[in-house]
């Protein structure tokens, strides 16, 4: 079994396995919920998970596709991880953040899987006997806010194709901002901060984790250059958008 600890120890609060297990994360999120974005109840989360598992063979192991913080801070137990490719979706900063790594005063952006293209990430294998228990921890983290949809997808690995759960953006959610100009995305990441720390730290952790796996994301690299260049570079007019 494997766990990967968070690599953002300077944050005033961090999502951990323990906080997901004992309910602290749920309580904190609900206590600080934005009035415009209602959160799911415990019953709704469990019903959603059970619906997902009703389409999975009972008593068998399962796979989860990670593309962002699940790679560097999964907070769930798994027995194997391997590089994987998901086609039909791409990694994009497209969810407005006013909690966590953003605030009303300093909003940020969160990653999601959006339509079209492809995404290189990590496939995590969860043992059959722990599948529902470990997935419930992921549900408490990824599905609480209603901005993601859990889907069964086909992913490609060196050992062959796998069926896995992926969390894709719900474009109807009010936090979805679509395709912003890349300069606007970079500025929000550079300036966003909240009780979980800075949006920039989240970005840096994701880029570092992908780099360690030998994964290069051209869109994230372009963002990194703009963020490091600072406000002067960001203020220059640009026509292109983040893809």
Q: Do 115 and 89 touch, CB atoms closer than 8 A?
A: yes
Q: 142 an active-site residue?
A: yes
Residue 180 to residue 15: CA distance in whole angstroms: 28
Catalytic residue among 134, 142, 187, 205: 142
Place of tokens 């951990």: 16
Burial (0-12, 13-18, 19+ Cβ within 10 Å), 85: middle
Phi, psi of 18 (to 5 degrees): -65, -40
Q: Do 147 and 176 touch, CB atoms closer than 8 A?
A: yes
Question: Strand ranges (DSSP E) for the chain?
Answer: 62-66, 80-97, 108-126, 148-157, 160-169, 193-194, 197-198
Q: Do 140 and 45 touch, CB atoms closer than 8 A?
A: yes
Q: Do 89 and 113 touch, CB atoms closer than 8 A?
A: yes
Tokens found for residue 5: 């600890």
Place of tokens 């989240």: 202
Catalytic positions are 142
């Amino acid at each position: 079994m494997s766990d990967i600890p968070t690599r953002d120890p300077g944050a005033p609060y961090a999502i951990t396995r323990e906080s997901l297990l004992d309910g602290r994360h749920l309580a904190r999120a609900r206590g600080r919920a934005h009035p415009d974005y209602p959160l799911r109840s415990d019953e709704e989360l469990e019903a959603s998970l059970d619906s997902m598992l009703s389409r999975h063979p009972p008593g068998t192991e399962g796979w989860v596709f990670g593309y962002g913080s699940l790679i560097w801070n999964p907070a769930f137990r798994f027995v194997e991880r391997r590089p994987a490719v998901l086609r039909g979706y791409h990694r994009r900063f497209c969810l407005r953040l006013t909690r966590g790594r953003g605030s009303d005063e300093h909003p940020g952006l969160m990653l999601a899987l959006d339509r079209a293209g492809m995404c290189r990430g990590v496939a995590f294998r969860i043992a059959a006997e722990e599948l529902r228990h470990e997935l419930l921890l992921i549900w408490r983290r990824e599905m609480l806010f209603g901005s993601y949809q859990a889907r069964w997808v086909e992913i490609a690995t060196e050992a062959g194709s796998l069926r896995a759960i992926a969390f894709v953006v719900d474009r109807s959610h009010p936090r979805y901002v679509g395709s912003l100009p890349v300069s606007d995305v970079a500025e929000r990441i550079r300036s966003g901060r909240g009780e979980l720390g800075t949006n920039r730290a989240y970005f840096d952790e994701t880029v570092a984790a992908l780099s360690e796996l030998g994964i290069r994301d051209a869109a994230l690299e372009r963002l990194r250059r703009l963020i490091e260049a600072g406000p002067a570079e960001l203020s220059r007019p640009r026509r292109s958008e983040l893809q």
